[in-house]
Copies of this chain bind each other. A is one copy, B any other.
């Protein structure tokens, strides 16, 4: 079946989803969870095929680990679907409303997008997560996973569709988009049939989708995040936050990649910080000022542009807040930027002047996360400015519609 045919079926399914009440969607999610749990053996067998193929192809151990499903991971996907069922339904929420002077009533109401395409890389658990979030928000999902996870995704989607049908909802609400590379191009060209595309993955994938899609795109997640230690920073607070933001989970987009230290704080902060980083296994790529305090790898300009996603950190000493702001402006990706300071004035300038999805004062950028924000489910973290910026929960998976009710008024 072509992508166009799949999208046409998805639209028909989306029309049904748009008008069923929350209870029907929640029943669908629980049925999806039940079906996935029942299909565990089939899913693990299919995943073993993907893993064997990846290992034959010499895929790195880290990537194979992301691809691998276990009984626990399948249980996590099942649990995720049940948790989404427990979240409030954004569809039908009245965002605002008023009555015009002539008595015409206006309400702005949340409605589903319709058909959402998700283009993502190896992790097969995204398949269930994305399908669940789309169904709950009333959207039909076209899931374009990577070929390396093709067998796993096929097995997962077969189970999910069984569940959807079992709950008397249209199975075409959840579809896997298979096939060669050109299929992605077709999906990106399906304007009018697909309402939104969300790429989830590395910078290369996201860039390709943003550049070539005629369907509106929500960009997610590249995070070259900075931590700026101001002259007035409490040194202990700064060190706690630095270690947390760098080492608690270095592979995620809200981890810190560059430390900027005010020149007046360098002598009192850097020696302890560099020693603590070394103890935590962090490799420091430092500018010449930093090198004065410890043995570090000299930082090239490319280090400041890099999203390491590993236990590496670029470090630079800056003259003042303005220099820190200029550095972030130049190298930041607009994700999450942090200042540690005791100065109210510096905090205010930083939060107003830094152009990013999230700006933080005296706390860890690891908190910029749908779960930590209490959203319950997260489809990704948007680093663009249209529609949604920052962690995206269920309401961000909807559009709105004005409902205008009168009693014969004309203009």
Residues of B within 8 A of A401 (CB): 355-359, 389-390
Does A278 belong to the interface (CB within 8 Å)?
A: no
Q: In the bound complex, how far is the Cα of B356 from the Cα of A364, in angstroms?
A: 42
Does A196 belong to the interface (CB within 8 Å)?
A: yes
User: Do B386 and A106 touch (CB < 8 A)?
Assistant: no
**Stretch from A38-46, A297-305, A403-411 contacting the other chain:** A403-411
Q: Kindly provide the distance from the CB of A224 to the nearest chain B CB, expressed in whole angstroms.
A: 14
Does A399 belong to the interface (CB within 8 Å)?
A: yes
Does A59 belong to the interface (CB within 8 Å)?
A: no
Determine the residue in chain B with the shortest Cβ distance to A240: B410
Type the 1/0 row for A99-129, where 1 means its CB is closer than 8 Å to any CB of B.
0100010101001011000000000000000
Q: Kindly provide the distance from the CB of A325 to the nearest chain B CB, expressed in whole angstroms.
A: 9
User: Do A409 and B18 touch (CB < 8 A)?
Assistant: no
User: Contacts A372-B100, A373-B106, A389-B401 given: A411-B362 contact, CB under 8 Å?
Assistant: no
Residues of B within 8 A of A113 (CB): 385
Q: Kindly provide the distance from the CB of A273 to the nearest chain B CB, expressed in whole angstroms.
A: 15
Interface of chain A: mostly helix, strand, loop or mixed = mixed
Does A159 belong to the interface (CB within 8 Å)?
A: no
Residues of B within 8 A of A106 (CB): 373
Q: List 13 A-B contacts (CB under 8 A).
A: A18-B352, A104-B367, A191-B210, A196-B386, A216-B386, A241-B410, A357-B402, A359-B401, A359-B403, A360-B406, A367-B411, A386-B387, A389-B402
Residues of B within 8 A of A374 (CB): 98, 100
User: Do A218 and B386 touch (CB < 8 A)?
Assistant: yes
Q: Kindly provide the distance from the CB of A305 to the nearest chain B CB, expressed in whole angstroms.
A: 13
Q: Which of A1-51 contact B (CB under 8 A)?
A: 15, 18-19
Q: In the bound complex, how far is the Cα of B411 from the Cα of A244, in angstroms?
A: 7
Does A353 belong to the interface (CB within 8 Å)?
A: yes
Type the 1/0 row for A339-363, where 1 means its CB is closer than 8 Å to any CB of B.
0000000010001110111111111
Determine the residue in chain B with the shortest Cβ distance to A103: B363
Q: In the bound complex, how far is the Cα of B389 from the Cα of A367, in angstroms?
A: 31
Does A310 belong to the interface (CB within 8 Å)?
A: no
User: Do B15 and A353 touch (CB < 8 A)?
Assistant: yes
Q: In the bound complex, how far is the Cα of B351 from the Cα of A113, in angstroms?
A: 15
Q: In the bound complex, how far is the Cα of B19 from the Cα of A404, in angstroms?
A: 36
Type the 1/0 row for A213-240, where 1 means its CB is closer than 8 Å to any CB of B.
0101110000000000000001011001
Q: In the bound complex, how far is the Cα of B362 from the Cα of A359, in angstroms?
A: 46
User: Contacts A352-B18, A353-B18, A401-B359 given: A240-B406 contact, CB under 8 Å?
Assistant: no
Determine the residue in chain B with the shortest Cβ distance to A196: B386
Determine the residue in chain B with the shortest Cβ distance to A349: B19
User: Do B18 and A385 touch (CB < 8 A)?
Assistant: no
Residues of B within 8 A of A357 (CB): 401-402
Residues of B within 8 A of A363 (CB): 104, 404-410
Does A262 belong to the interface (CB within 8 Å)?
A: no
Residues of B within 8 A of A244 (CB): 410-411
Residues of B within 8 A of A70 (CB): none
Residues of B within 8 A of A251 (CB): none
Residues of B within 8 A of A236 (CB): 408
User: Contacts A113-B385, A410-B241 given: A405-B210 contact, CB under 8 Å?
Assistant: no
Q: Kindly provide the distance from the CB of A59 to the nearest chain B CB, expressed in whole angstroms.
A: 30
User: Do A399 and B411 touch (CB < 8 A)?
Assistant: no
* A15, A384, A406: most-surrounded residue (chain B CB, <10 A): A406
Q: In the bound complex, how far is the Cα of B97 from the Cα of A210, in angstroms?
A: 30
* A218, A356, A362: most-surrounded residue (chain B CB, <10 A): A362
Does A83 belong to the interface (CB within 8 Å)?
A: no
Known interface pairs A367-B406, A373-B402; 5 further A-B residue pairs with C-beta atoms within 8 A, sorted by A's residue number: A18-B352, A100-B373, A351-B403, A362-B408, A363-B404
Determine the residue in chain B with the shortest Cβ distance to A361: B405
